Amino acid sequence: MKYLSETALRASALGLALMATTAGAALAEKSVTIGLTADPSHLYPLAGEELSSNIMYYHLYDPLVKRSADLSFGPGLAESWENVDDTTWRFKLREGVKFHNGNDFTAEDVVYTIEKTRESIRPDLVANVASITAVDDHTVEIKTPKPYAVLPNDLAELLILDSEYTEATGDEKMDLEPMGTGPYKLESWIKEEKLTLSANDDYWAGEPKIDTVTFRPITNPATRTAALLTGEVDVIQDLAVRDVDRVKREEGFEVVTRPSLLNVVLAMDTREKSPTIEGDNPMTDRRVREAIARAIDTDAINKIVMNGLATPSDQYVPESHIGYADGMSFREMYPVDIEKAKELMAEAGYPDGFTMTLDATNNRYVNDAQIAQALASMLAKINIDLQLNIMPKSNFWGYIRVPTENSSFIMSGWDVPAGDAGSMYGALFYTRDKKEGYGQVNRGSYSNPELDALVDKADATPSIEERDQYLQEASKLLLNDIPMIPVHYEQDIYAKRDGVTLEPRVDKFIWAYDIDVAE
Amino acid sequence: MFGYLLKRLIQMTLVLWIVSVIVFLMMSFTGDPVFMVVPIDATDAEIAQARRILGLDQSLLVQYGRFITSLVQGDFGNSYVFRQPAMTLILERLPATVEMVLVAMALALAVAIPLGVYAGANPNSRISRTIMAGSLLGISLPGFWVGMVLIFLFAVHWGIFPSSGRGDTAELFGLRISLLTADGWHHIILPAVTLSLATMAILLRMTRAGMMEVGRQDFMKFARAKGATRRDVLYKHGLKNALIPVITIFGLQLGDLIAFATITETIFSWPGMGKLLIDSIYRADRPVIVVYLMLVALIFVVINFLVDIVYTLIDPRITLK
């Protein structure tokens, strides 16, 4: 804290001095204030991840590979990369990049970051890196355990640390005194009040357009709206659904929406016996799974529960992803049809339905508890008596955890910011306990050798095209076999005052480097 | 007096210990903190590593033992979520909360005492009835609603006050205080008013009841008969004797507001410590919750002690044993 206020003082003294010298020909300082839903927990990328922290990380640090707003991947701290052989990648690093403290960015920092990550709370970030070596000061060679075509996509989440500074500062202090190569430096951070960033004028991709960015945590949605309308903030994240019309009516403000990556899905247990179902588990029969899919009216959920601010999902991953099966839609394959659903139930031997429990959260997804209630009334139409077991997220993740000893039917969300269906299919649908790192979130105990083989093939090719082919086949197979019902993508809703340009990112990470304000 | 202090100290230690045990036990029901930290598709090995880093790989009893041992050495443990010392997290948010609560309590006293005395002295006047009806509103309106209405009217509609946040602060003894700047006062008014309403209403009603009770006593008539002014009779003779229950409630409310101003803080995004408690409960961040509740217990004990001392000042017949 002391450090922060001291730097703030020193910086403002510097600012005054600058103002004195450039007085007369004063440049207009651009600034923007952004209202977030929560204060970041961390400024040290290896300490943990949640949305507010992620937003800060990408201002302060840079990854080797940059993920752009629309989920395409391009050069970041690495200028270019190539495959030396099936499992070896060579990354050419950008020269002349400096950390905020003036240290040069070199291959040593990349090696250090990867090794440090392995020991941290986030070893998953480097799960596909077997080893790394510095070839020279600005070249590194990364070996993957097996051919892995989307390594660059994974590396977009790995933020590079200054080896010397990080080692000297220590984990606890890194959270308060971050040091990266990113477009912004930390000016001051007053917990729960505001976090101020100032432009890194030497940024390798060009000086940021906005000089000062202030983030304010405003948890209460109505207060966030009020702060926008009173002009205290210029942009807000997560505009409350009920305030959308109000802000639209107001002169000088604009609502910006875009479908998020978060797919709300329903996992069905496919074991012979299921924890909350008496007798044999009907959902082992594909016809029952199809009947459930046909009974769920996602349009009605969107209209009634979500106020039209959701996008019914047509597959398990969005269209932008590797592995999206072209031209297939879950909604067209299984349109809402109660009569057909009842027939299917009768054919499968359950004309009178059965009873089971849905596990869902009440504070994780938009209107999650209400969605659960809507599902119960929809499934009642095909005689499935759906009991609701709704709990806060702090209990939920442990409760539904594989080996899923308590659950038959689970509502949760899944997003893949890496832009690739492979990691999702491997984690959610691969047979459990067959291979380390696969099937660890397979909550429905789905097991299909064909799918396992496709995921294996996708994970064994160094070619992105081939990977896409295998994963598309996997998508087709899954859409036909219905181990899980995709419901909808939530919509990200922002509001801003006129004069601020904001293109929301698919991954939700607001990035001030892309924002501009009118003079 | 010394014996009294010693007794209080022993009581306090006992209370703090019981709080720590209860919270530790309670927290084993609120979910596993490790799942709040790792990504949802984490493998077993990754989860085990996180568990080890957080010190959650031991049994609850061992964890409690470790907690108490380091507590005795002055180390209150680190937050699972923030990975910072729990005590630091709380203390850096404490001044903002205390500041807001003090303004709210001052406001409550300044309004409640005169109005309460008036309403107690003139129970049948029309003004008294209006005051009492108003106090009923103060008790029954929920704080979050009042806060939202104040924001809508004074910030969005009329633009008199800012909607949220703390404003500029100045440093005093290393603490950041917003009461030293005009901008700080500008920001603190709405949340302080919101927070004060319920307490104001309670204190007002207590004062009135006390005044009505005292008003029937003989010494009030004597005071009037010996020629004291009506004002002196009411405030010097009447109020002083009516004050004991009011001070008791004042003390309890003060502790309550410092500990649980959560709702007001959330609505006005006031950077106080109440929000930390709620967030920590959501995230199953046990070290923060334990330290927080122990600190709250301490605050209550200290306030009650001070209230006891104030009793003896107001009423010399009371002694501390």
Distance between terminal CA atoms of chain B?
Answer: 6
> Per the CB < 8 Å rule, is B81 touching A217?
no
Tokens at A175, concatenated: 């959270």
Contact A226 B50 (CB under 8 A): no
Contact A147, A87 (CB under 8 A): yes
pLDDT above 90 coverage of chain B, percent: 34
The whole-angstrom distance between B287's CA and the closest CA on chain A is 15
Smallest Cβ–Cβ distance between B82 and the set A41, A120, A218 belongs to A41
Residues in A closer than 8 angstroms to B156, CB to CB, are 226, 229-230
Window from A176-190, A379-393, A468-482, B22-36 with minimum mean pLDDT: B22-36
The pLDDT score that the predictor gives to residue A334 is 96
Q: CB distance B31–A398 less than 8 Å?
A: yes
Task: Judge whether B145 is closer than 8 Å to chain A, CB to CB.
Answer: no
In whole angstroms, give the CA distance from residue A253 to residue A234. Answer: 9
Residues of B in contact with A222 (CB under 8 A): 148, 151, 267
- Least trusted range by pLDDT, from A110-119, A381-390, B5-14, B151-160: B5-14
Minimum Cα–Cα distance from B153: chain A residue: A226
Question: What is the C-alpha separation between A292 and A297, in angstroms, rounded?
Answer: 10
pLDDT in tens, B84-96: 899 999 999 999 9
Query: What are A165's two structure tokens?
Result: 């500074």
User: Would the pLDDT of A202 be above 90?
Assistant: yes
Supply the mean pLDDT for chain A.
Answer: 90
Nearest neighbour of B271 by CB, restricted to A38, A193, A392:
A193
pLDDT bucket at A4, cuts 50 / 70 / 90: very low
Least confident of A323-327, A328-332, B293-297: B293-297
Strands in A1-138 per DSSP E: 31-36, 65-67, 73-75, 78-85, 88-93, 131-136
- Whether residue B267 contacts residue A223, with contact meaning beta carbons closer than 8 Å, is answered with yes
Which residue is closest to A399 within chain B, CA to CA?
A: B31
Length reported for chain A? 519
Q: Is the dihedral of CA A479, A481, A483, A487 positive or negative?
A: positive
Any chain A CB within 8 A of the CB of B271?
yes
Residue B39 has pLDDT above 80, yes or no: no
Q: Which of residues 102-121 of B touch A (CB under 8 A)?
A: none
Q: pLDDT band at residue A25, thresholds of 50, 70 and 90?
A: very low
pLDDT surpasses 60 at A14: no
**Least confident segment among A152-161, A490-499, B254-263:** B254-263
| Helices and strands counted in chain B (H then E) | 15, 2
User: Is residue A263 within a helix (H) or strand (E), and if so which, with residue range?
Assistant: strand A253-268
Is there a contact between A216 and B165 if contact means CB atoms under 8 Å apart?
yes
Residue B266 near chain A (CB below 8 Å): yes
CB within 8 Å of A362: residues ≥ 6 apart: A368, A369, A390, A391, A392
Average pLDDT over residues A320-335: 94
* Sequence-ordered list of residues with C-beta below 8 angstroms from that of B44, at least 6 positions apart, any chain: A440
Closest Cα in chain A, distance from residue B261 (Å): 14
Interchain contact, A397 vs B155, CB within 8 Å: no
Q: Give the separation between CA B258 and CA B175, rounded to whole angstroms.
A: 17
Angle between helices A449-458 and A464-481 (to 10 degrees): 160
CB B163 within 8 A of CB B155: yes
**CA–CA separation, B194 vs A486, rounded Å?**
44
Residue B43's SS3 state is coil
> Is B166 near chain A, with CB under 8 Å?
yes
How many Å separate Cα A243 from the centre of its chain?
A: 25
DSSP assignments along B70-95, one per residue: HHHTT---B-TTT-SBHHHHHHTTHH
Question: φ, ψ for residue A218 (rounded to 5)?
Answer: -130, 100
pLDDT for residue B321: 65
Instruction: Tell me whether B316 touches chain A (CB under 8 Å).
Output: no
Q: Mind listing the pLDDT tens digit for each residue in B99-113?
A: 999 999 999 999 999
* A-interface mutation test, from B52, B83, B265, B276, most A Cβ less than 10 A away: B83
| Chain B residue closest in CA terms to A121 | B50
- Supply the pLDDT for residue A288: 96
| A348 vs B297: which has the higher pLDDT | A348
How sure is the predictor about B283, in pLDDT bands with cuts at 50, 70 and 90?
Answer: confident
Q: What would the pLDDT profile of A402-425 be if each residue is shown by its tens digit?
A: 888 899 999 999 988 888 999 899
Kindly tell me the burial class for residue B132, based on how many C-beta atoms sit within 10 Å of its own C-beta (0-12, 13-18, 19 or more): middle
Q: Is residue A470's pLDDT more than 80?
A: yes
Query: Is residue A401 predicted with pLDDT exceeding 80?
Result: yes
pLDDT per position as a tens digit, A164-187 = 999 999 988 999 999 999 999 999
Looking at every residue in chain B, the average pLDDT score rounds to 87
Helix (H/G/I), strand (E/B), else coil: A10: helix
Residue B47: pLDDT over 70: yes
Question: The tokens of B20 are what?
Answer: 């720590």
| Residues A289, B229: Cα–Cα separation, whole Å | 87
Q: Do A172 and B37 touch (CB under 8 A)?
A: no
**A183 or B220, which is more confident:** A183
Cβ-defined contact of B275 to A219 (cutoff 8 Å): yes
* pLDDT beyond 60 at A23: no
A482 within 8 A of A176, measured Cβ to Cβ = no
> Of A106, A84, A83, which is closest to residue A94 (Cα–Cα)?
A106
Interval A46-65: pLDDT, tens: 988 888 999 999 999 999 99
Chain B residues touching residue A399 (CB < 8 angstroms): 31
Is a pLDDT exceeding 90 seen at residue A449? yes
- pTM for the model: 0.85
pLDDT in tens, A93-148: 999 999 999 999 999 999 999 999 998 888 888 989 999 999 999 999 999 998 99
Identify the pLDDT of residue A27.
56
